[in-house]
């Protein structure tokens, strides 16, 4: 009875006029493309699964329980949970025709134990609100829960999450690979735009990607990846960071001197509490160092924090837990509404809209506690969920 009730609850009929398809970079990385479409959205049964393969179920379990040490248990759990997890569907539709027009692009990097669909809710909303094309990269460096990677010999491999036992040096090595992945994904978009690379019939991106307007974006470890990629690859014109995890960067102030592009940092309340009172050895100390470097060079910087939210609020995880009727505590704001707020703020930044006005317009969902100002004058807007 419990499983039947849960199965019914995960059938979500919400849809958007957003298409998705999968492709790969030249080095075999999986990339999910989210893009605008004017075609009618598909019904629930025809929409793509949130987890593209049951190997991702293993990946999430392995991240939580280090299943490499429990091979029998891993298979039992993987095959037991897949029938339920496979019922989760994306809100976008599979391979709708691409809308007419030319669209800015966002290259997205997932956090630790994420994959290319972990942020589907946020990215679908970002496409709909900003009219952008999003390329969500699935990193094959051991930071994804699991990864569908095509090797040069044509064989498919599934490199799982690597438990590092707090080895920051290894994370720094991963960061270098991830930054390269972001650039490779942008190169893939260049080939799609030129027509040199084709996808399936009806999903044609030739001449539809505005490469002069490219945002480097991500969450947590992915946000740190986006910050570095946005600073190093001159093709990126702005940086969007959700809850940046800056421990993957070196300690020296020079390692946090990212001042090439305009930046927007969107934080959950629980990620960097009291970041304006930096604590040595904490992530918020590094945030403060980065912000001061940008302030000194007067680089456009936006910051907003959504009170009542946690680190995973930007991902699909809280929403999936709601569908399974699993909550650690009553939420002040429904998971889907949190994604709406984050997408609205990100859209205001990407489209160069009025960030402060966007906050005002969200008053039906959130309450502004401090007025937004230019970064040089104290750029903090704290929103209550």
Specify the fold of 2-50+88-384. Rossmann fold (3.40.50)
User: What is the distance, to the nearest Å, from the Cα of residue 108 to the centroid of all Cα atoms in its chain?
Assistant: 5
Describe the chain by its helix, strand, coil percentages, rounded to 5.
Answer: 40, 20, 45
Q: What are 326-332's contacts with CB under 8 Å, separation 24+? A: 331/385, 332/308, 332/384, 332/385
pLDDT at 1: 22
Report pTM.
Answer: 0.87
- Residue 15 burial (CB count, 10 A): 18
CA separation for the pair 335, 314 (Å, rounded): 9
pLDDT at 372: 31
Going by DSSP bridges, is the β-strand pair 18-24/30-36 parallel, antiparallel, or unpaired? antiparallel
Encode pLDDT of 38-56 as tens digits: 998 888 888 999 999 989 9
- Six token digits for residue 311: 């680190």
pLDDT at 4: 30
Residue 114 DSSP one-character state: B
Domains of the chain, by residue range, sit at: 2-50+88-384
Encode pLDDT of 97-108 as tens digits: 999 999 999 999
What is the number of alpha carbons within 13 Å of residue 327 lying toward its C-beta?
A: 12
CA geometry: angle 36, 39, 44, nearest 5 deg: 95
- Assess contact for 125 and 339: CB atoms under 8 A: yes
CA separation for the pair 270, 309 (Å, rounded): 7
- Assess contact for 316 and 121: CB atoms under 8 A: yes
Going by DSSP bridges, is the β-strand pair 301-307/381-384 parallel, antiparallel, or unpaired? parallel
pLDDT at 302: 87
Which segments within the chain are labelled E, that is strand?
A: 18-24, 30-36, 93-94, 103-109, 133-137, 149-150, 156-157, 209-219, 238-242, 263-268, 301-307, 367-368, 381-384
Q: Which residues of the chain have pLDDT under 50?
A: 1-13, 329-330, 365-385
């Amino acid at each position: 009875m419990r499983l039947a009730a849960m199965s019914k609850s995960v059938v979500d009929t919400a849809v958007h006029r957003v298409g998705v398809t999968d492709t790969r970079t030249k080095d075999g990385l999986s990339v999910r493309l989210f893009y605008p479409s004017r075609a009618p959205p598909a019904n629930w049964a025809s929409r793509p699964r949130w987890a593209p393969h049951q190997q991702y179920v293993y990946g999430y379990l392995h991240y939580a329980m280090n299943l490499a040490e429990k091979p029998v248990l891993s298979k039992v759990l993987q095959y037991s949970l897949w029938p339920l997890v496979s019922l989760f569907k994306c809100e976008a539709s599979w391979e709708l025709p691409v809308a007419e027009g030319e669209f800015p692009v966002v290259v997205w990097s997932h956090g630790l134990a994420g994959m290319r669909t972990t942020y589907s809710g946020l990215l679908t909303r970002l496409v709909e609100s900003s009219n952008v094309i999003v390329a969500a990269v699935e990193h094959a460096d051991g930071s994804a829960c699991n990864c569908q990677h095509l090797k040069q010999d044509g064989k498919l491999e599934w490199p799982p999450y690597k438990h590092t036992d707090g080895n920051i040096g290894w994370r720094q090595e991963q960061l270098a690979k991830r930054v390269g992945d972001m650039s490779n994904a942008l190169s893939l978009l260049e080939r799609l735009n030129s027509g040199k690379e084709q996808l399936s019939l009806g999903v044609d991106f030739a001449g539809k990607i505005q490469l002069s307007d490219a945002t480097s974006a991500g969450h947590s470890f992915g946000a740190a990846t986006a910050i570095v990629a946005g600073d190093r690859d001159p093709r990126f014109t702005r940086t969007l960071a959700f809850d940046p995890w800056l421990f993957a960067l070196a300690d020296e102030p020079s390692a946090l001197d990212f001042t090439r592009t305009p930046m927007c940092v969107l934080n959950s309340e629980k990620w960097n509490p009291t970041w304006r009172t930096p604590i040595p050895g904490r992530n918020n100390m590094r945030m403060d160092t980065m912000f001061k470097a940008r302030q000194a060079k007067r680089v456009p910087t936006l910051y907003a924090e959504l009170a009542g939210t946690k680190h995973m609020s930007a991902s699909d995880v809280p929403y999936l837990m709601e569908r399974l009727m699993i909550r650690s505590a009553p939420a002040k704001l429904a998971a889907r509404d949190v994604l709406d707020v984050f997408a609205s703020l990100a859209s205001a930044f990407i489209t160069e809209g009025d960030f402060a006005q966007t906050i005002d317009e969200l008053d039906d969902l959130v309450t502004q506690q401090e007025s937004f100002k230019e970064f040089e004058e104290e750029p903090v807007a704290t929103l209550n969920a």
